[in-house]
Structure 1
Amino acid sequence: MKNIAKYTSIALLGTLSLTTLSCDDFLDRQPQGRFTTETYPAGGLTQYVYGMYSDLRAWGVHAFAFVGITSITSDDADKGSTPADAADQLALDNFTVLPNNGLITDFYRSHYTAISKTNIVLQQAEEFKNSISPEDYVRSQAEARFVRGYLYFNLVRTYGRVPIVDRVFKEGDNFNIPQSSKAEVYNFIEQDLQFAAMNLPTTWGPEFPGRPNSYAAQGMLAKVYLYQQKWSSALASAKAVINSGMYNLSTPYNQIFTEAKENGPESVFEIQAVYTQTNRFGTQYAQVQGVRGSGDMDLGWGFNVPSQLLANAYEANDPRRDATILFRGEITPYGEVIPASVPNERYNQKVYTDPKIRVEANNRQGMWVNIRILRYADVVLMAAEAANELGGAANTDDALMYLEMVRARARGSNAAILPRITERNQAALRDIIRHERRIELAMEHERFYDLVRWGIAGEVLRAAGKNFVTGKHELMPIPQGEIDKSAGVLTQNPNY
């Protein structure tokens, strides 16, 4: 393909998406609604915006370290793979993690690399201000600030105090920036996401699936507020998404994570990937979690497997269990059999792929799979949680209504399961909503952070057999290499 060398460095297809297609349509057509090396719009501000999005697919941002830090640490997942494989992942699973852990370092550095791309977009927007429309000028800033806000949200949840880098460094600048407090980082995130919510479009054209809109920013804001127990603000932002009418829970639960339902009606924000024999700009997110088998069942590396505790947590006959967990020996929705010889009893079904697409891509390990970051069901459950925490009869009514929306979709046409919740006691309903989040969002990188923000991580994770130390393991250590390079400007988190 022409010009491939020129554009590989900006990692094409940063915003690109697999559209909602039948399997046959998926196999028969070229990527639609996304640029290829033949059609990429070279030059101008666009190249910087697309380069920014591409970093969201990076190995260090949303692959191996991501599943370890956000999921394997929880009671819902185990390390998986084989016992001797990946000592750094085992340390996360057991909470024996040290400041020199490679995954901790990779996640930290890769997030700052991605943040630098957002700052470049903001810088270049100023450079191109007089040659682009006012709409493009503001919109590009809003996109960059949405992505930057999301990246800093990951950092503050993981490390607590981190440096705020809000510009592109130039010669003579002080590169050695001290950490800001958690409150300062959260304030910075709020400002970015508020700007994005005000200035992103409500919709994008069909040629740009996956680009965040104003409701994606509101949904992310709702979560940022929730983490700070700003219940009124969280509820208002969640309701802005709900009342928009842009999203719904019409997709059956067992289809949400199929390729055909990428960017479906409950996708608020998901990271785009494409991997065909001619356009290979994928992500290793599914690869590191896929079934670790042989031959046709060599679907990945087998990390981040659902725990027995998660398997036991579902209500009787909840169909979400079978849609989330692949069990050794089971017949899959595509008619494949998970061999009895695979090393783990369970695997993450939310990264299980269509075998026809594996053939088309000449790849078995899901490099084309999008990464769902924010689903509408998550927003609805955030609204339920915030409404319950605010209390009062009307808010309790709303909390129960939102809870029922999620359970009704999961229940489907089977009225004999997942009964409507009628509990009105705030403490009891709090526990019910928390459990619903666990089940609805299982293996979606919410559980560990939820346990921490609820203040129950120590109690729950020690009961799960993990070596969690309260007052220490709520945060990961600041990478020792970063502290060393800073000559002590960066300081370590407590008790490491």
Structure 2
Amino acid sequence: MRKYKLYLPLLVLIFASCKKEFLDLNPISTIAPGQFFKTAGDAVTAVNGCYASLAQSSQYGATFEVLMEARADNFTDQDPSSNAGQNYQINRYSDNPGNTNFYNAWVGVYNSIFRCNTLLAAIDGISMDDALKNRIKGEARFIRALDYFNLVRLWGAVPLLTTVTDPVNAVNLKRDDVAAIYKQVEEDLVFAAANLPAAYTGTELGRVTNGAAKGLLGKVYLYQKKYAAAQTVLQDVINSKVFMLLPKVADVFSTTNKYNAEILFAVRYAKGIANQDHGFWYANSQTITVDTTLMKAYDDGDLRKPLSESVKPTGNANIMPRKFLDDPVNGNAGNDFPVLRFADVLLMQAEILNEQGYNPTGDAFTYLNMIRTRAGLTKPLTATDLPEQGSFRLEVYKQRRLELPFECDRWFDLVRTNRAVSEILANKKVTLPAFRLLYPLPQQEIDIMNNKVTFPQNPGYD
């Protein structure tokens, strides 16, 4: 049975209970699916378990910060010994398929997909309000879409599972085309956008909204250069007036102002509650530092610069970016991780409008200047400063780096814009082989499947 355990937690579900905060990572049961799904409350509990999977250390709790940020150029790992040097290897492009970060992320994401697929397969058998049923389906399909968006960006072609696959059929799993995976992601997000509410309140705050689904769909379209489709859904988000830039950028990350008006979707945590808090992101030893090229890219008056500066948490000898600083309880923090926020939407829309045609008086300049003005850069940019499409494009790329560091966007931005090799060489003085734009599949998976035709390793890692 070991051959299939990475995809299938076999016949058990481990879902989360619902207490004061909807996201509770403490499992209450290990139950056969056929015995569990009886009531609407069971469906809510199950979808809470889907959210909880995102918060685990194998995803946004720890590993994604290594795979999605350490790979880029916003901080430098100078510690070749901790964790057997595996994080250092990712930062320095010397990693191999046996690196446990790959295995942990792969298993964690597919566990999340399994939870979503199990819920989606069972929920139609529950007698419950149709609107609530479709909302829960929308939540699960958003999470599954996010899972596959992360998988395809990290590894390229991966197995596409939309049903619960049993061990007998798992032998036929293969690496599906990237185009097929993106098609499924789009379908899931379109469904979610059509069936989710605009907002939640109280203990429901943090569930996926239709604005979050449209925002992620716009990003998915952007990655595929489907600019017209991306423009439409992102403009819907902007025009909805549900989300806005906070007047002070530091307030976006305040632990007393969580899930504020700028957050489209975040992975939620609760400090001081076992299994709902997390270790400090990007804090390890003083040999891991914010890269000097990032700090030098900020103007002196840029209000975002202090958020990227290295500081020490209370009672902690390590250092970390101020953006995610929190007063620890039992050594852990409780920040939410911002997966998508309104500043990102504005920058994506500015990029998309410019890619479709430079306009010196259009909305692209408006959205770009909204980000700069909030950052304290009081001089609006005009066609005099950015006289053509290429210069505007580079300014958007610059603002994305300055606005979104440590939020798991930088590496993917470099890859999707074909700048990874040149930027890594310029900023880190390291030669990045082009094959390392994708990670190797975990060696455990290659060994288990043992089929070079349907389940080959990514080129360069054999």
Instruction: Choose which of 184, 188, 194 in structure 2 pairs with 1:192.
Output: 188
Name 2:133's counterpart in structure 1: 137
Written as runs of structure 1 = structure 2, the 5 A alignment for 1:450-469 is 450-463=413-426, 464-469=428-433
Q: Which amino acid aligns with 2:191?
A: F
DSSP-derived class of the 2:91 partner: helix
Instruction: Name stretches of at least 5 consecutive residues in structure 2 with no aligned partner.
Output: 1-12, 30-38
Distance 1:235 1:172, change over 3 A: same
Identity %: 28
Written as runs of structure 1 = structure 2, the 5 A alignment for 1:145-164 is 145-164=141-160
Name 2:282's counterpart in structure 1: 289
Name 1:386's counterpart in structure 2: 352
> Using the alignment, how far apart are the partners of 1:196 and 1:35 within structure 2?
23
> Using the alignment, how far apart are the partners of 2:228 and 2:25 within structure 1?
44
2:372 counterpart of 1:407:
yes
2:218 counterpart of 1:222:
yes
Per-residue deviation at 1:198?
A: 1.1
> Using the alignment, how far apart are the partners of 2:113 and 2:400 within structure 1?
29
Written as runs of structure 1 = structure 2, the 5 A alignment for 1:45-444 is 45-79=43-77, 82-86=79-83, 87-128=85-126, 131-170=127-166, 172-276=168-272, 279-284=273-278, 286-290=279-283, 292=284, 305-327=289-311, 347-353=320-326, 355=327, 358=328, 362-366=329-333, 368-393=334-359, 397-411=362-376, 417-422=377-382, 423-444=386-407
DSSP-derived class of the 1:69 partner: helix
Q: How many residues align?
A: 432
> Using the alignment, how far apart are the partners of 2:261 and 2:438 within structure 1?
34
Name 2:33's counterpart in structure 1: none
Higher mean displacement: 176-185 or 208-217: 176-185
Instruction: Choose which of 406, 410, 430 in structure 2 pairs with 1:447.
Output: 410
8 Å Cα contact 2:43/2:119 also seen in 1: yes
Distance 1:428 1:392, change over 3 A: closer
DSSP-derived class of the 2:202 partner: coil
> Using the alignment, how far apart are the partners of 1:349 and 1:408 within structure 2?
21
> Using the alignment, how far apart are the partners of 1:201 and 1:175 within structure 2?
39
8 Å Cα contact 1:251/1:265 also seen in 2: no
Per-residue deviation at 1:33?
A: 6.7
2:458 counterpart of 1:493:
yes
Q: Which amino acid aligns with 1:352?
A: L
Higher mean displacement: 54-63 or 425-434: 54-63
> Using the alignment, how far apart are the partners of 1:78 and 1:123 within structure 2?
44
DSSP-derived class of the 1:274 partner: coil
> Using the alignment, how far apart are the partners of 1:311 and 1:418 within structure 2?
19
Per-residue CA deviation, residues 320-367 of structure 1 (Å, 9 max, x unaligned), is 111222257xxx9xxx7x99xx57xx62112201x3xx3xxx42321x
> Using the alignment, how far apart are the partners of 1:303 and 1:231 within structure 2?
41
Per-residue deviation at 1:305?
A: 3.8
Q: Which amino acid aligns with 2:366?
A: M
DSSP-derived class of the 1:421 partner: coil
Higher mean displacement: 425-434 or 307-316: 307-316
8 Å Cα contact 2:23/2:52 also seen in 1: no
> Using the alignment, how far apart are the partners of 2:375 and 2:104 within structure 1?
37
DSSP-derived class of the 2:256 partner: helix
Q: Which amino acid aligns with 1:287?
A: F
Higher mean displacement: 192-201 or 151-160: 192-201
Return the TM-score normalized by structure 2.
Answer: 0.87
Greater RCO between the two (CA within 8 Å, min separation 6)? 1
DSSP-derived class of the 1:207 partner: helix
Per-residue deviation at 1:419?
A: 2.0
> Using the alignment, how far apart are the partners of 2:149 and 2:286 within structure 1?
27
Distance 1:409 1:169, change over 3 A: same
DSSP-derived class of the 1:260 partner: coil
Instruction: Name stretches of at least 5 consecutive residues in structure 1 with no aligned partner.
Output: 1-7, 17-30, 293-300, 412-416
Per-residue deviation at 1:251?
A: 4.0
Name 1:25's counterpart in structure 2: none
Distance 1:212 1:441, change over 3 A: same
8 Å Cα contact 2:281/2:324 also seen in 1: no
Q: Which amino acid aligns with 1:222?
A: G
> Using the alignment, how far apart are the partners of 2:440 and 2:74 within structure 1?
22
Return the TM-score normalized by structure 1.
Answer: 0.81
Per-residue CA deviation, residues 141-181 of structure 1 (Å, 9 max, x unaligned), is 11111000001000000000101011112464344411111
Per-residue CA deviation, residues 234-267 of structure 1 (Å, 9 max, x unaligned), is 1111111100100111241122111112100101
